[in-house]
Structure 1
């Protein structure tokens, strides 16, 4: 933010009326004629940090230094922290030209950029809007000025002839001045001597003008009703022949510096600095503009008389005042008020004295409360914090949970920072941070069964143009109800995919397939395709891998269902599950379920003579016929212990076999396909041939084609096998399939998990007991 005045355009216009304004160069905010002075206002940001003024008249150019300003009727106020310079020039200033009823001012503004000086002429003609009182007194910030009508009568009691004695030895045409103090009378001096001491006397337009800087040797201080007053009492006189002209000039100004109390800037002056026959009239205002008493009262100004003292109270934040922020272990502010007061007195001779004060009042450092608001709406999914600071305070950086970011933020960040200018000379910043951003601290609360999202914001603020930082900390927190993760699913031609976007608190849950927790090792062991990183989890489950459930199997296709469980990490309780069912097509398949069913879709065209379609098919038990058939394709589904299945015990496995026989016409079935389901003994609880089958693992199915009748298959000494691994979940329900009403002779085979069986079968490790049951 460029160093500017703290006022916006509207406020500037309220301070300085546009009437009579000449913008001669960039940075000259105003040139304005007031009732008793001419004013120039500059913007330092456009004129440089060290502008200077020169007064110009017919005699040449006169640099306006501090001492020269006090002597010649100029006052210069520089407020670098506000970027403002103001020059006030009395109408009776040294180099003001008097033309008819106008005062003409000519100045040079000298700027300096990088060592290069530039000069700009600023000229203005002013006609005083008010008539002159018999006596006018101005108490400026750096000098006192008195002007009286030249025919103003001498006050009674001032004709002390002893004061004239020194004139008897001087030229009758010389003017002399004598300064008086309450306790002494100083020797007189001629005007040229007084000029060397810094005093100024002049005769302009029928008025005698006397001006003096504050703190002169000949001045004195007095206390009037507890108010400090500086007084310079000068008497000028001259003798022409036998006539003596004597003029009494008194400059008296209140030197009260002001105070602050309860939101008011206070200032006082004695009511009767000059002789007054009745109560004085008071008008007050700011920046050289007086207000009607009713308007001043409406704006909160206080004007009271107490013990012959005028007390003025101005609201510290009154319109027209100046404000500045200051940083020192906090943000403070102070206010500057350019008080303008006019006091009108009438003496016993009914002569009027107009007394004008220009006083700069400065408040002490006042603590400033930074405005912060938590505007977070949980449903929006973002933290929203609001910060409001004075217009001259800048936000330079932000720390989010200890991580620093310069402002403005870069486009690559997920955070936003919006700045807005307000009407109350403040500006605001609105910060948004996503609730689930990595910078946000998230902690799970067991007590609330919810997730705390916490964001500590540390704003770094500076009061321009200074650079000392102030750190303003704000903490915001949101309690979010946590929910178990939810997967996105999709069906593929050969499997099902699951996708999960990770959240910061997903460590609270475990992902399981059945009883087993899903890990990379489990996925590799079962044939799943899995990737898991900081962003998310991708799981692809190929068809026929472990965990599927199949139903509605037909020659046209079947439905495959896969379920992913979400469990509590601490209690292992199932919280939610994602179940996905997809339709699949397969020319051939064989499934060996954990509950003892074999389901087969077989294509006999691989073993049939070319173009021939069998009349019928059956299993080893010719009563078990196909559930569906379509040309050369057939569907069988039957319990492993039925339809003439044979049981073989091999090392570590148990094998169930059956066969699909096909025939033409009325011929007997002679050829067939061997169907086989193999189960590991370690996972088999019961081997059955009657009613019961228990296994905690799926069987491995195979369709074995007779090699001599198989077309297009490579020759081998071993019968070729075409296995298809099945993976139906343990909870697979028995399909509602056609079963014959007759089953062959049944046997119940039990595989024990312990040694010491009642009987044994030679060659079968682990002990097998074979019992015969009567025919069903």
Structure 2
């Protein structure tokens, strides 16, 4: 396909200071030579919204206005669905260089306006005649009718005899040697001179071999009639001249179907045209009809494959096109919700042959057909993944001529695109068939999301109401899409995993969707960063979850199964309902530990201790008897000859009470007696270790009661050496070995500080400080156990 380009002629520069001359961008105009017209299409991005064409010939420049276009054989249209500005120019249009009806040369100026700046481009094109002329050709354009007849065509013998005779008599009585004009309407012939006809918009032109007549629709001399039930607009001019006794007459008839498209129950577009193209020409029966779109006829097989049907029924040709058939152009319409219609630029050719004189008439029709309005549902998908903790919804199948303008959430309207500070995310996705969609993400904890918790069913219901505002382009006609989406999630309390180590117990929990609905506590105290810092917990938290390490003997431990070999300790975390503070569940971990010494001072007044007496035994002079307290009847629960286990009331077993600075201390002694030393000396030597528990006086409820002891806080315990100087062990002495459980590694000897939860009646809340100072051969030794 050849394209013609050119420079603006020089005199155009003087028209306006705001007009500039440019070469039109390469490939910008689509120019196609069809059988009987030239088509020029320019993208609207170049043509703009106020574009205009001018026809150029040797006489000058002629603006193609709406009225001038209908008179001179031009059709200018804006095609918003295709994004084009289109010009169709008849081969017989004004200002076209016609070379013997065989080649046609066009010159146009295209004027565009962008931001107040006008530009003028020159577009040239030459079209050779591709299809030979038929004796009679009729074109039904959207704004005019055009007829061309060979100058040597025979008389229309098919006309009604009485009409022809009447016309001849009128012409003979008034005719002279000059050509004259009459219009026939309702059986009446109205004379009209050519100047008057031209002023009314009629065009008569004689070319090298044809007579051309062109008229806009709706002229005073046109008339409406029906042919085989199909409404037709027709104009019937007659040209005549008398030479002596002979009358020369040319009958020119232009007739076009003005049938308005209808629609079948299935939604097909229906359009009709009579088989006989004019009411006074009834002998044209051998008719062949072809259809296509956008100026291109389709092969009958291809047309049928697209669903285009051509049916000839009772001298009427009916065209049937499916609403969504290939070749149509879709258009969105805002009617409360989104609707759509399909537009077809129907191109029809009808070839008919006269039975009497074998004269062929070729009729061409350009007709814009629209389907009914069809509902166009949009696609809505709930793509929410509960793990992401946000709603993810998709609104799709949105046509290309529709865009999203705003979204309303919980009464608040957000313009699109969202600001950078917004917690919402909106992304656009391309889809097939020239459609697109939007993915909107809204956090579940956003104020625009409604939440409703059902404790009975252990469910949380999330609801998001959305009102999308969409615009149909280019008019930006708005419509709305209102949708709601819900999410049901099981309200699962935190689930802990725990592990034991030499230094204590560790807990971890993954951060789940409803972590905020629960509180964690150690006993009655909420587990907070402040509490963790106060009691020496190692706690860290992030988006993944929470990790907690509790050192042994920290606040919250309970102790069980205390023996000389070791003990078990339990730490428990309570899971509370954040609204009601009710205990929902608990996570407890029990671990086994070993310790050489410990002392527990409980809130109910029990002193439980494991004391290492091996130094006393080694310093003695004989085999010791079983240890005892101040009350010699209070005997240990276990004794292995080196370490001893006692458990007794703090105010029992002969304990002594001392009050100093609002603190109450209960003291007792562990004593050993030796009946005979290693040198065979007789007698008895007593050695002892002092043990004590100290409580705040303000926290004691029954200070001097021997029947009940109750304290708000655990006591602080100590084991104090009161043993006299001991001998140095000889090389032959056998070392004393502390027996530890094989499954639990022994703890290092440290200072114990214990905080015990008061959750279980079996275990008590304690604080222990173990500190022993022993003197052996003048050597001061301090041992602390942590």
Q: Tell me by how many angstroms 1:107 deviates.
A: 1.1
**Residues 29 and 673 from structure 1, CA distance in 2 versus in 1: closer, same or farther, beyond 3 angstroms?**
farther
Which position in structure 2 is the counterpart of 1:760? none
Q: Is the 8 A contact 2:692 2:717 kept in 1?
A: yes
Instruction: Please say if residues 564 and 644 of structure 2, whose CA atoms lie closer than 8 Å, have aligned partners that are also in contact.
Output: no
Superposed displacement of residue 33, structure 1? 1.1
Q: 2:294 aligns with which of 284, 287, 308?
A: 287
In structure 1, distance between residues paired with 2:409 and 2:666: 65
Over 3 Å counting, the alpha-carbon distance change for 1:635 and 1:71 in structure 2 is farther
Q: Please, which of 283, 295, 308 is the counterpart of residue 301 of structure 1? A: 308
Superposed CA deviations along residues 548-598 of structure 1, whole A, max 9, x for unmatched, are 034698999987531112256799886532234678898975323569452
Mapping of residues 256-295 of structure 1, within 5 Å: 256-262=259-265, 263-274=267-278, 275=281, 276-295=283-302
Following TM superposition, by how much is the alpha carbon of 1:268 offset from its aligned partner in structure 2, in angstroms? 1.7
Structure 1 contact 565–574 (Cα < 8 Å) conserved:
yes
Q: Which residue of 2 aligns with 1:176?
A: 180
Distance 2:529 2:34 in 1: 91
Q: CA deviation at 1:180?
A: 1.1
Is residue 2:170 matched to residue 1:133? no
1:676 matched to which residue of 2?
A: 692
For residues 28-427 of structure 1, the aligned pairs below 5 Å read: 28-80=28-80, 83-99=83-99, 101-156=102-157, 157=161, 158=164, 160-168=168-176, 172=177, 174-189=178-193, 191-239=194-242, 244-262=247-265, 263-274=267-278, 275=281, 276-347=283-354, 348-376=356-384, 383-388=391-396, 389-408=398-417, 416-427=425-436
Structure-1 residue corresponding to 2:12: none
Structure 1 residue 460 corresponds to structure 2 residue 469 = yes
TM-score between the two structures when normalised by the length of structure 2: 0.75
Partner of 1:716: none
Alignment gaps of 5+ in structure 1 = 1-18, 710-721, 735-776
Cα pair distance change 1:277/1:728, threshold 3 Å:
closer
Once the two structures are overlaid, the 10-residue window that deviates more, 393-402 or 52-61, is 393-402
Which residue of the partner structure matches residue 669 of structure 2? 658
| Distance in 1 of aligned mates of 2:303 and 2:589 | 79
Secondary structure at the aligned position of 1:646 is classed as: coil
**Cα distance change, pair 165–482 in 1 and its aligned pair in 2 (3 A):** same
What is the DSSP-based 3-state SS (H/G/I as helix, E as strand, rest coil) of the residue aligned with 1:280?
Answer: strand
Tell me, which stretches of 5 or more residues in structure 2 are unaligned? 6-23, 726-750, 765-786
CA positional deviation for 1:91? 0.9
Q: 1:603 to 1:480 in 2, by over 3 A?
A: farther
Q: Shift in Å at residue 660 of structure 1?
A: 6.7
Question: How far does the alpha carbon of each residue in 1:128-155 deviate from its partner, in whole angstroms, 9 at most, with x for none?
Answer: 3221111000010000000011101122
The answer to whether the 8 Å contact 1:27/1:43 transfers is no
Comparing 464-473 with 230-239, greater Cα deviation is found at: 464-473
User: Aligned partners of 1:431, 1:706: CA distance in 2, in Å?
Assistant: 77
Change (3 A) 1:531 1:682: farther
Secondary structure in 1 matching 2:285: coil
Name the SS for the 2:304 alignment partner: helix
User: Shift of the alpha carbon at 1:372?
Assistant: 1.7
Distance 1:414 1:507, change over 3 A: closer
Shift of 1:625: 11
Are residues 471 and 500 of structure 1, via their aligned partners in 2, closer, same or farther at CA, if it must alter by over 3 Å? farther
State the TM-score, normalized to the length of structure 1: 0.76
Q: Secondary structure at the match of 2:303?
A: helix
Per-residue CA shift, 1:15-59, capped at 9, x if unaligned? xxxx45679526835211111111011221232111111111222
Cα pair 2:136 2:148 within 8 Å, conserved: yes
C-alpha distance in 1, partners of 2:619/2:58? 130
SS at match of 2:486: strand
Q: CA deviation at 1:733?
A: 7.5
| Cα gap change, 1:68 to 1:557, in 2 (>3 Å) | farther
556-565 or 487-496, larger mean C-alpha shift? 487-496
Paired residues in the alignment total: 688
Match in the other structure for 1:773: none
2:393 touches 2:441 (CA, 8 Å); kept in 1? yes
1: CA distance between counterparts of 2:752 and 2:140? 113
For the 8 Å contact 1:657–1:677, the answer to whether it is kept is: no
Task: Give the alignment's Cα RMSD to 1 decimal.
Answer: 4.6
Which of 593, 598, 603 lines up with 2:608 in the alignment?
A: 598
Q: How far apart are 1:265 and its partner, in Å?
A: 2.0
CA contact (8 A) 2:3 2:124 kept: no
Distance 1:269 1:591, change over 3 A: same
Contact 1:555 1:601 in 2 (8 A): no
Equivalents in 2 of 1:423, 1:128: separation in Å?
41
1:640 counterpart SS class: strand
CA contact (8 A) 1:687 1:694 kept: no
Inter-partner Cα distance in structure 1 for 2:757 and 2:704: 17
Distance, in Å, in 2 between the alignment partners of 1:26 and 1:584 is 88
